[in-house]
C-alpha cells in the first residue's frame, strides 16, 4: 500500500481502472495493489465488489469477477488453483523477506558487538602505556607496573574479538 494515501482512495482508483484490465476486476491485481494479508485482502475485495455490483447490477464483468472470486474454495475450479498458488507464493516471499531482515539485523548486531569488543580490548591495551623512564634506566618502558599486566586483554579475549569480526564479513542474506 502506498504511504500517505488512504485505503479508500486506493480502492476507488482501482475500481475506476479495473474494468479495463484483463481479466476485468481481477482479484490478483487488487491483491498486489493493496499488499495486505490474505484475510484482509479477501474481506476488502469482497466488500468493494459487493458494493460495486449492487450499485451497478448491469455490469456483467463485475458480477462475473465476484462469482469467480466466490469459487476460491471450490477445489475443482481453475480460480481455486490460481488463488492457492498466488497466496503460497506471496506467503513464501513474505517469509523470505522476514528471514532476510532477521539475518541483516543479526549481522548488524554481531558486527556491533564485535566492534565494541575490539574497542574495549584496544582501550585496555592502551592503558599499558610506556612510562616516562629516563634514558639511563634499565626498566622496560613497555610495562609500567604489575597491575598493568592484569588489565591486558587475554589471548582468549583477543581471539574471540577477531573471530567475531571475521564472521561479520559473510553476508548471510546471499545464501
Per-residue pLDDT of 138-171, as tens digits, reads: 544 444 444 445 556 677 777 777 776 666 555 4
User: What percentage of the chain has pLDDT greater than the value 90?
Assistant: 54
Predicted local confidence at residue 76, as pLDDT = 94
**Nearest-angstrom CA–CA distance, 5 and 21:** 22
**Nearest-angstrom CA–CA distance, 49 and 169:** 51
Predicted local confidence at residue 3, as pLDDT = 57
Q: Once rounded to an integer, what is the mean pLDDT over residues 14-23?
A: 92
Predicted local confidence at residue 174, as pLDDT = 46
Helix, strand or coil, per DSSP, at residue 157: helix
Predicted local confidence at residue 17, as pLDDT = 92
**Nearest-angstrom CA–CA distance, 11 and 15:** 6
Exposure string for 24-63, b = 16+ CB within 10 A, e = fewer:
ebbbebbbebbeeeeeebbebbeebbeebbeeeeeeeebb
Q: Once rounded to an integer, what is the mean pLDDT over residues 97-118?
A: 91
Predicted local confidence at residue 126, as pLDDT = 75
Predicted local confidence at residue 175, as pLDDT = 46
Cα 103 off chain centre by: 9
DSSP letter, residue 131: P
Residues 6+ apart with CB under 8 A from 110: 164, 167, 168
Mean pLDDT of the chain: 81
Q: Once rounded to an integer, what is the mean pLDDT over residues 113-127?
A: 83
Indicate whether this model's pTM tops 0.75. Answer: no
Q: How confident is the model at residue 121 (pLDDT cuts 50, 70, 90)?
A: confident
Predicted local confidence at residue 120, as pLDDT = 85
Residues 6+ apart with CB under 8 A from 70: none
Tell me the pLDDT tens digit for each residue of 71-103. Answer: 999 999 999 999 999 999 999 999 999 999 999
**Nearest-angstrom CA–CA distance, 27 and 61:** 12
Q: Are 61 and 24 in contact (CB under 8 A)?
A: yes
Q: Once rounded to an integer, what is the mean pLDDT over residues 46-58?
A: 93
DSSP letter, residue 135: T
Amino acid at each position: 500500500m502506498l504511504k500517505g494515501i488512504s485505503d479508500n482512495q486506493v480502492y476507488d482508483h482501482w475500481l475506476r481502472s479495473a474494468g479495463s484490465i484483463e481479466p476485468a476486476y481481477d482479484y490478483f491485481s487488487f491483491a498486489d495493489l493493496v499488499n495486505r494479508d490474505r484475510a484482509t485482502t479477501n474481506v476488502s475485495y469482497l466488500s468493494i465488489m459487493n458494493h460495486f455490483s449492487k450499485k451497478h447490477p448491469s455490469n456483467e464483468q463485475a458480477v462475473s469477477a465476484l462469482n469467480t472470486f466466490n469459487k476460491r474454495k471450490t477445489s475443482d475450479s481453475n480460480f481455486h488453483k490460481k488463488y492457492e498458488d498466488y497466496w503460497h507464493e506471496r506467503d513464501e516471499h513474505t517469509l523470505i523477506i522476514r528471514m532476510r531482515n532477521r539475518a541483516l539485523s543479526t549481522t548488524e548486531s554481531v558486527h556491533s558487538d564485535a566492534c565494541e569488543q575490539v574497542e574495549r580490548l584496544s582501550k585496555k591495551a592502551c592503558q599499558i602505556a610506556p612510562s616516562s623512564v629516563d634514558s639511563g634506566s634499565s626498566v622496560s618502558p613497555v610495562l609500567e607496573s604489575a597491575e598493568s599486566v592484569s588489565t591486558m586483554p587475554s589471548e582468549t579475549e583477543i581471539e574471540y574479538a577477531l573471530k567475531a569480526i571475521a564472521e561479520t564479513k559473510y553476508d548471510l542474506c546471499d545464501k
